Amino acid sequence: MKRQLFVLLLLPLLFLTGCFRQSSPSESDLYRHYAEQQDLKVAQLSGFKLCDTVRVDVVMLQADNQQAWLRLTEEFDIRAEEGTVSWLGQIDNPAQRTQWSGAPVMRVIASPGRRTVGFYRIDTEVQYDALIDYQLENTKNNN
């Protein structure tokens, strides 16, 4: 009887532990792909807040030197003379440009001045709209 009760009590504990492990933020494949490179600062912000109800995951690569930046520009086909550029990239291959169709994409922003590339993962239309709203709002605030 005691053993049965103990097992019954243990079940919700294991269930909750499993739930919170499954849903906990973890390092993305993109982050892991670049994290070992010595001349890149690599960061991931899980749940970067765009507004009170919408968050996105962001991975950022920052080159330590010009050589590392040139490697990034070649890998992602970035033309430095164009200044800061932005495109929608495929999730598995952000260098590959694509269009918004409702399927998950990366919003990629490359800033030659900061030698930084940011990848904003968009899974839903709500996130897509919130990202645009965030930029519009900040542009208005800057003016």
Where along the sequence are the contacts to another protein (CB under 8 A)? 1-2, 5, 9-10, 12-13, 16-17, 19-20, 23-25, 27, 31, 34-36, 40-49, 52, 55, 58, 60, 62, 84-86, 109, 111, 113-114, 116, 118, 120, 131, 134-135, 138-139, 142
Give the integer Cα–Cα distance in Å for 58 and 122: 9
Closer to another protein at the Cβ: 4 or 101?
A: 4
Distances, alpha carbon 27 to alpha carbons 44, 63, 88, in Å: 7, 20, 21
Decide whether 16 or 126 has the Cβ nearer to another protein: 16
Nearest approach, Cβ of residue 23 and another protein (Å): 6
Instruction: Please say whether the beta carbons of 126 and 141 come within 8 A.
Output: no
Element (H, E) at 86: strand 85-89
Q: Minimum distance from CB of 101 to another protein (Å)?
A: 21
CB of 93 to another protein, least distance (A): 20
Minimum CB distance to another protein, residue 74 (Å):
20
Q: Residue 87 in contact with residue 61, Cβ under 8 Å? A: no
* Residue 58 or 105 with smaller CB distance to another protein: 58
Q: For the range 100-103, what are the long-range contacts, defined as Cβ-Cβ under 8 Å and sequence gap of 24 or more?
A: 100/128
